[in-house]
Every structure is written in structure tokens, then in C-alpha cells.
Amino acid sequence: MNARARIDTVLADAAPALLAFFLRRVEPPADAADLMNETLIAAWRARRRLPVQAEAARKWCFGIARHVLLHHARSRRRRAAVVDRLRLAIEVAPPPTATAELTEVRAAVDGLPPQLAELIRLVHWDGFSITDAAELLGVPASTARSQHARAKELLRDALADPARPHARAEKLTEG
């Protein structure tokens, strides 16, 4: 039996037991399927080290599964720690001051067509260049430049006519 057929056979035989191994150890159960997939990939990549004897090969598969499980647990702990640090930072950060002007600008940006609004947010709120924003949005830089000009024009019009919100909305949704 060649090496590919052998690893396929070993993995097919071990798969139900490996899946049960993960199902007994992780929540939610959907994570077990992801871990199983990682284990199969890792075993396939390491197939040259597959032991010859059947029981040794089965233990080898479980060793890989255990390594994948430990990596998963470390990753979850790290993610949880990052989330906890972010929560703490958010809790202690002063709340943004919502001025009438800021509220009006946000409403005007929110009234833009979605692609234009996101371009404005990326460039003016997130600090990206128009070229970088174009890359993030998956459009050519020249398209982003013309869309940016159009968005600024729509925003200027919307913010210059605060007494007529319906007229602003109509202008924002044109083109």
C-alpha cells in the first residue's frame, strides 16, 4: 500500500473516534468539526512520520488531535484575554461627546449611498488614504477618487441646507 492510501485508511478508521474525542472536550459542538478538520490536515502534512503498526498509527492520530486541542484552548484563552482588556479600556474611556454638529455630520454620512458612506468613513474617520480605502473597498483608485469627490459634494449640499431635511435626503440618494 502506498503512503497516500495508507494515511487515507488510517485517518478514515480513526475519524469517528477523533470526532468523539473533540465532541467530549469542546463547546460548542461545531468547534469539534473545525478541530477535526485541523487534525486531518495536520496528519496529512505529517504523513511521512505515520507509524507502521496500526495501534501506533491510531495513537499518533490522537497525539495530533491532542496538540490541536491544546492549541485551540490556548487561542481561546488569548482571545478572551484580549476581549477582557478591550472591555476594560472601553469602560474606563471617556464617552465621546455627541454635539449637535457631530450628530448632523453622522446623519449626513449615514444618508449617503453605502459605498460612498464607507469611503468617507475610511478616509476621514479611520485615516486611510483614498488609495488605501479603494483597496479595502475593492475598487480602482481612480473610481475611489471620483466617488470621494461625489460624496464630499453630497455632504456639502446636505450640511448646507439643514432646514430642509427632506431635500437633503433626496440629494444624498441621487446618483
Question: For 3-92, CATH number?
Answer: 1.10.1740
| 89-147 per-position pLDDT tens digit | 888 877 777 788 888 899 999 999 999 999 999 999 999 999 999 999 999 999 999 99
Mean pLDDT of 46-51: 93
Taking the C-alpha atoms of residue 69 and residue 100, their distance in angstroms, rounded to an integer, is: 51
3-state class (DSSP) for residue 80: helix
Mean pLDDT of the residues in the chain: 89
Cell numbers found for residue 149: 469627490
Q: State yes or no: pLDDT of 52 exceeds 50.
A: yes
Cell numbers found for residue 168: 437633503
CATH class in words for 100-173? mainly alpha
Mean pLDDT of 151-167: 76
Q: How many CB atoms lie within 10 A of CB 76?
A: 12
Taking the C-alpha atoms of residue 31 and residue 126, their distance in angstroms, rounded to an integer, is: 34
3-state class (DSSP) for residue 19: helix
The pLDDT assigned to 15 comes to: 95
H/E stretch holding 161 reads none
**CA nearest 38: which of 57, 17, 22, 59?**
22
The pLDDT assigned to 100 comes to: 83
pTM of the model: 0.56
The pLDDT confidence band at residue 163, using thresholds 50, 70 and 90, is low
Name the residue ranges covered by the structural domains of the chain: 3-92, 100-173
